[in-house]
Structure 1
Amino acid sequence: MLNRAVLTGRLTRDVDLRYTQSGTAVGTFSLAVDRSFTNRNGEREADFINCVIWRKSAENFANFVHKGSLVGIDGRIQTRNYENQQGNRVYVTEVVVDNFALLEPRSARNNNANNQQNGNAPQQNNGNNGNPFDNNSNGNGNANAGSASSGNGNNGNQGNPNDPFANSGDSIDISDDDLPF
C-alpha cells in the first residue's frame, strides 16, 4: 500500500499553532496549489488543501512561514470523522505533513514578512539567492538541516550570501588525489 502526497504551493493564511492537553504542538494550515492546466477562460485555477503538522516540526514551520510563503510538503492523506453538535457525522480529509521545505530564499521571506507588516507589496529579486531549500525539516526538529550557510563571517561576498567562495578572488586548488572518485 502507498499513501504519499507531495505538494508545492503557497499558504493561504498563517499557521494556526495550538497545543493538545498533553502539550503536543499541532499546526493547521491551508495550501493553495495551482493546477497544471487552465480553464475555458484561460485562467489557472488552484486547489486549497487542508494540512496538519505535529510536534517540533509544527513549531518550526509556524516560526518560519507566514501567509503567502511558498513551501513544499511531503506527507500522507488521512480522513478522520467526528460527530458535530447537531449530531451529524462530519468527515475531514487532510494531508498529515511528515517533511517540509521552504522554497523561497531567506531574504525573500524576510522582505515579504516586512512588507506585509508595512502594507507594501513584495519586491521581486532576480538575483540568485542560493539554495531554496535552506530551512527544511525532516521531523527531527532541525530547521536548518539543509542550510548552506557557513557562518564564517566572510562579509566580502556580495553576490550569493550562501556561497562562501563568491567574489573572494581566491582560486581553489584541488588535486586529483583530493577527489572522492
Structure 2
Amino acid sequence: MNNCSFVGGLVADPVIKYFESNGAAKAVTEFTLALKRNFKNSQGEYDADFAKCKVFGKLAEVLVNHTKKGDKISVVARLHTRNYIDSDGKKVYVTEFIVTSFDFITKSKKAETNQNQTNSSNHIGSHSPAESDDQLPF
C-alpha cells in the first residue's frame, strides 16, 4: 500500500496553476512542507526534511485560498516517482507526494479573511470534495 501521512509547515505561499486535461482546465498546486524530525542532532537542535508535494483539482484551490507560508497542515499522500530527460540529455528522477487529503492544523489570517469574505457575500460552497462548511475548523 502506497500511503504516507505527515504534518509540516508550508515553506512558501502555495500558488495555483491550471493545465488542460481532456479539454477541461484542471488546477494543480505544488508546494513544499518542512517536516521536523523527532530527534535532535549533535548540536541539540531539531533538523527538518523537506517534502515536495502536489495537489490537484478542488483540493488545490482550497489549499491556495486558505493557507499561507508558515501554516501547518496534516497531509495524506501517495509517493510518486517520475523521470524525464533534461536539456543535457541526462535522465532526471523526481520523487514527490501526490496529496489525496489534508487538514488544517493552524488557522491562518488568510483563512480568516477568506471566511469573512465568503460569509459577507452569502456564498456557501464546498471547500473540498468530501467536506461541508460545518466540518471545517474555522
Correspondence 1:11-90 to 2 at 5 A: 11-22=10-21, 23-90=25-92
Q: Which amino acid aligns with 1:85?
A: S
Partner of 2:65: helix, strand, or coil?
helix
> In 2, distance between residues paired with 1:145 and 1:52?
26
Matched, 1:147 2:119: no
TM-score norm. by structure 2 comes to 0.79
Other structure's SS at 2:135 match: coil
Tell whether the 8 Å contact from 1:74 to 1:98 is kept in structure 2 after alignment: yes
SS in 2 for 1:61: helix
The alpha carbon displacement at 1:95 in A equals 0.6
The Cα offsets for residues 62-100 of structure 1, whole Å up to 9 and x where unpaired, read as 111111011000010000111111111111101100000
The C-alpha deviation readout for 1:44-69, integer Å capped at 9, x for no partner, is 00001100000111011111111101
CA distance in 1, matches of 2:26, 2:66: 19
When Rg is computed on C-alpha atoms for both structures, the one with the higher figure is 1
Structure 1 portions without partners, runs of 5+: 115-136, 150-181
In the aligned structure 2, how far is the partner of 1:145 from the partner of 1:99?
A: 17
Q: CA separation of 1:61/1:112 partners in 2, compared to 1, >3 Å: closer, same or farther?
A: closer
Question: Distance between the aligned counterparts of 1:17 and 1:53, measured in 2?
Answer: 10
The residue type paired with residue 20 of structure 1 is: F
Native 8 Å contact 1:100 1:138 kept in 2:
no
- Output the amino acid matched with 2:55: I
Do the aligned partners of residues 26 and 111 (structure 1) sit closer, same or farther apart at CA in structure 2, a change above 3 Å counting?
A: closer
Q: Show the counterpart of 2:8.
A: 9
- List 4+ stretches of structure 1 deviating above 2 A: 111-114, 141-145
> Aligned residue pairs: how many?
123
Higher RCO by CA contacts (8 Å cutoff, separation 6 or greater): 2
| Distance in 2, Cα, partners of 1:104 & 1:80 | 32
5+ residue gaps in structure 2?
114-125
When residues 96 and 138 of structure 1 are mapped into structure 2, their CA distance, relative to the original with a 3 A threshold, is farther
Equivalent pairs: percent with the same residue?
Answer: 33
C-alpha spacing 1:148/1:15, structure 2 compared with 1 (3 Å):
closer
